[in-house]
Amino acid sequence: MRSAPFTLLLSAFLFAVGCSDSGDGNGGEAGSGGATGGTGGGATTGASGTTTGTGDATTSTGTGDTTTSTGTGDATTSTGNATTGTGDATTGAGGGDGGSDGAGGGASARVPAASASTLREAGEKANPPILIGAAISGGGLGNNDYKRVAAAEHSYVTTENEMKWDSLEPSSGNFSWGSADNIVNWARQNNMKVKGHTLVWHNQLPGWMSSMTGKENVTNAMRRHITQVMGHFKDRIDTWDVVNEAVQTDSDTGVGNPRMRPSVFLNQIGSNYIDLAFQIAREQDPKAKLYYNDYSIDARNEKVEFVYNMVKGMVERGVPIDGVGFQMHIGPPNNEAGGADVAANMKRFTDLGLEVLISEMDINRCGGVVTADEQLAYYHDIVEACFKLPKCTAITFWGINDGRSWLNSWSGALCNGQSSQSLLFNDQYGKKETYNRVMNALLGR
Ligand code: G3I
């Protein structure tokens, strides 16, 4: 287990501060967004705000109690008035929808279902509901057991590789939709939402794109890619990882010299390529949820400080970002993060008016870095941290069964072809103890 005493101390302090309002129902502070597409309009998302809560995209403030929360929000005007409208602080449900689609922030806690027989059901019956997702691969869908478990247990799909640039636009201007369409259509047949992953990323880029030169050329290629991809899936996908992993550190654990990651986008366009990508995506779909997604930003470290400031700057500049995906790859090659640290870290991003998501969770046992007991505790405590935060809107696991995990063959993951034992199902698609711990967290146990 990797942990610096100072980091732990700082995290404990920040957690205490960050959670100080969770019990008394401060609602107005979380009301925000709206002007740029709305991650919750003012006091609409401040479910527990009462008479003094007000909110706008930048200054949302307010207080609340736990009995009479009221409020409306208007995503167009980014204002909310906590004296009118409805909300239910008792259940912690967002009092309104923040305009078109605000995540219910501001409530003190999400209320779990009394019981559930699948993770999906536990997510759907929670108040407010939370999406339970999995990375799905085309290869996996060739297996009936995989399909059965994936659809029964999850309500949200991220394509593992099939929507990456090299898959969708293998040669310049020629788009290949087949493998992505197969997954999206299967998801829709099973009443599952899909997140598009990912529009702009330095990795899995075809050679013609990664070697392109000239600011105008790269800008045009990026614009065309975002526009074509979002256009193709327009009526089927309304949540997108717009920019993925734009920040790097010397270590994959998020430590050492955080900086913008060199890529054809950074090198040719400059650091404002991120703003530009979100602006293009917003032009393409005014209502879609647009996310920044990254790894080893799950608890406080140098990388997440950089990402926090980057995202904060975007919010302040009015860049249309709706949320941040915390990949939550725990263990080698990435970071470790305890539940309390994750909770505090996520909370400060929601205080910017953003949604947060666990977007790619797995916990690698290879190399003995994470013990069996630590893995179980992490699964419970990290899922609980997200679940308790109404503005944490999804928990996605990076695969279904251990045998198909990316970690098994990824250099740095210390598996060398052995199973990473990182997921919730074994290779016979049986539920592991990790599944039980996740279910407990979703049921508030
Ligand atoms: O499709 C080719 C196949 O034709 C070839 O024979 C084979 C030989 O190695 O490679 C296959 O491509 C592999 C691809 O997965 C599809 O299976 C690549 O080598 C392999 O590198 C690639 O790995 C993916 C990795 O992203 C690439 O960065 C993993 O499956 C995928 O799970 C992983 O997902 C990423 C997220 O998108 C972003 N966050 C981190 C996460 C884990 O790395």
> Distance, CA 77 to ligand 1 centroid (Å)?
43
For ligand 1, the distance from its centroid to the CA atom of residue 293, given in whole angstroms, is 17
Give, using CA atoms, the residue closest to atom 23 of ligand 1: 406
pLDDT tens, position by position, for the chain (445 residues)?
Answer: 333 333 333 333 333 333 222 222 222 222 232 222 233 322 222 222 222 222 223 223 232 222 223 232 323 222 222 222 223 332 333 333 333 333 444 558 999 999 999 999 999 999 999 999 999 999 999 999 999 999 999 999 999 999 999 999 999 999 999 999 999 999 999 999 999 999 999 999 999 999 999 999 999 999 999 999 999 999 999 999 999 999 999 999 999 999 999 999 999 999 999 999 999 999 999 999 999 999 999 999 999 999 999 999 999 999 999 999 999 999 999 999 999 999 999 999 999 999 999 999 999 999 999 999 999 999 999 999 999 999 999 999 999 999 999 999 999 999 999 999 999 999 999 999 999 999 999 999 9
Residue nearest to atom 18 of ligand 1 (CA): 204
89-102 exposure pattern, b = at least 16 Cβ within 10 A, e = fewer = bbbbbbbbbbbebb
User: Which are the contacts of 29, defined by CB distance < 8 A and separation ≥ 6?
Assistant: 21, 46, 55, 60, 61, 62, 106, 351
C-alpha of 5 from chain center: 28
Q: Whose CA is nearest to atom 30 of ligand 1?
A: 406
What percent of the residues of the chain are helix, what percent strand, and what percent coil, each to the nearest 5? 35, 15, 45
Q: Which pLDDT score, from 0 to 100, does residue 107 have?
A: 57
Distance from residue 161's CA to the centre of ligand 1 (Å): 7
Best substitution site from 247, 406, 420, 422 to test ligand 1's pocket, by max atoms within 8 Å of Cβ?
406
Chain centroid offset of residue 266 CA:
23
Instruction: Please state the atom number of ligand 1 nearest to the C-alpha of residue 139.
Output: 17
Sheet containing 54-55: order of strands: 54-55, 79-81, 72-74
68: left (phi over 0), alpha (psi -120 to 50) or beta: alpha
439 CA to middle of ligand 1, Å?
Answer: 29
Whole-angstrom distance, CA of residue 306 vs CA of residue 303: 5
Cα–ligand 1 centroid distance for 362 (angstroms): 16
Among protein residues, the one with the nearest Cα to ligand 1's atom 40 is 295
In the three-class reduction of DSSP (H, G, I as helix; E, B as strand; rest coil), residue 414 is classed as coil
Q: Residue 337: CB partners within 8 Å, gap ≥ 6?
A: 298, 299, 328, 330, 345, 378, 382
Interval between CA 253 and ligand 1 midpoint (Å): 20
CA distances from 48 to 72, 90, 112 (A): 12, 8, 17
Collapse the DSSP code of 393 into the 3-class scheme (helix H, G, I; strand E, B; otherwise coil) and give the result.
strand
Q: Which residues line ligand 1 (CB under 6 A)?
A: 160-161, 203-204, 244, 295, 327, 360, 406
The first and second tokens of residue 197, run together, are: 């992953």
Q: Angle at which helices 273-284 and 302-317 pack, to 10 degrees? A: 50
CA-closest residue to ligand 1 atom 12? 161
Nearest-atom number in ligand 1 for the CA of 398 is: 32
> Amino acid identity of 131?
L
Q: What's the 198 CA to ligand 1 centre distance in angstroms?
A: 13
Nearest-CA neighbor of 291 among 358, 228, 225?
Answer: 358
Residue nearest to atom 32 of ligand 1 (CA): 406
User: Beta 131-136 vs 392-397: how paired, if at all?
Assistant: parallel
Instruction: Give the ligand 1 atom nearest the CA of 197.
Output: 37
Give the residue numbers marked as catalytic.
Answer: 245, 360
If DSSP states are collapsed to H, E and C, what string results for 212-279?
CCCHHHHHHHHHHHHHHHHHHCCCCCCEEEEEECCEECCCCCCCCCCEECCCHHHHHHCCCHHHHHHH
Query: Which ligand 1 atom is the nearest neighbour of the CA of 164?
Result: 37
**Whole-Å CA distances, 117 to 124, 428, 439:** 11, 19, 9
Q: What is the pairing mode between strands 72-74 and 131-136?
A: unpaired
What fold does the segment set 6-33+70-442 form as a domain? TIM Barrel (3.20.20)
In DSSP terms, which residues pair with 111 in a beta bridge?
127
pLDDT value at residue 108: 81
Side chain identity, residue 328: M
Dist CA 246 CA 202 (whole Å): 8
Nearest residue CA, atom 35 of ligand 1?
A: 160
Q: Which of the listed residues 137, 141, 161 should we mutate to test ligand 1's pocket, taking the one with most ligand atoms within 8 A of CB?
A: 161
